[in-house]
Amino acid sequence: MSPNRKLIDIGANLTDKVFRGIYRGRQHHKDDFHIMLARAFSAGLEKIIITGGSLTDAQESVALSRTDSRLFTTAGCHPTRCTEFQSDPIRYLFGLKELIAHNPDKIVAVGECGLDYDREEFCPANVQREYFEVQLRLASEVNLPLFIHCRSAHQDLIELIQKARAIFFRERPLRGVVHTFDGTAEDAERLLKLGFYLGVNGCSLKTEDNLKVIESIPIDRILLETDAPWCEIRPSHAGHKHVRTCWPIRKSERWDPNCLVKGRNEPVNLIQVLEIVAAVKNIEVDELAAKTYQNTLELFSFPPN
């Protein structure tokens, strides 16, 4: 591993209780949050962006980010949780605005927002669309990029973005990343034409068709993420054959500080995402690392080190 390699995980759910040793409401092992972080930073990660999926989540992730200068966060409402807006939309939106206004050194994007038509049982599509538009407007008002979630909804997502660009973004560019991108080559092309970056993690690398799409994306528009503790790269995934770096793994009941927990993705696994994308793009790992690091700095505004 190159000692000069620098990486940024643009999306990790670090407020998840599994990083405190709690699985399905039961303590399986000691809180190993700081061990997990140290493992990532010692492997070359320079920064991690925590994803905030609701107002409450974002408040928690801001507090968590203040425990380490290398942690940052997003602030927004995940599409499956947009019913939280409905009881008092004005108050909920004001809460997001206030949180962003008081934490400009830690909140680097509006999100996780977007559309998820795979899980309408949590929030109907029409409600998702309504409050995605609200958050598009919020991004224009606070001048932050968007951190977007999209599942089986690329057509509607693109139409709403195009509408928002014409209404809310006349005086400044609409910027952002569609994270965990698993769409088609046509979806990618349309999002790239709108100026978006595409976030790649294990869920973007499951099938040979996924890999072909990743191969078609210019490296200057790719960002890397883990979506930890989700989206781990499994042996059954098409991209797994390109993985070169692995760590010992144990079940949560047999926790070992020197091992990863089986089924729990971690930011350190960003290296595996990097290795797969580099192989698919047929470029050197360190070249891709340098380029995606630069891409990340171009999209997100981090305070000086």
Annotated binding residue 227: yes
CB 267 within 8 A of CB 45: yes
CB 173 within 8 A of CB 298: no
Mean pLDDT by 10 residues, the chain (305 residues): 86 98 97 98 98 98 99 99 96 99 99 98 98 98 98 97 93 94 97 98 98 98 99 98 98 97 99 99 98 99 88
Computed over its alpha carbons, how large is the radius of gyration of the chain?
Answer: 18
With H, G, I as helix, E, B as strand and everything else as coil, classify residue 211: helix
pLDDT at res. 288: 99
CATH of domain 7-299: 3.20.20.140
Sequence-ordered alpha helix ranges (H) in 66-207 = 83-86, 89-102, 125-142, 154-167, 185-193
Instruction: Indicate yes or no: pTM above 0.75.
Output: yes
Average pLDDT over all residues of the chain? 97
Please give the DSSP secondary-structure letter assigned to residue 81.
G
Whether the link from the prior residue into 303 is cis, omega within 30° of 0, is no
pLDDT at res. 296: 99
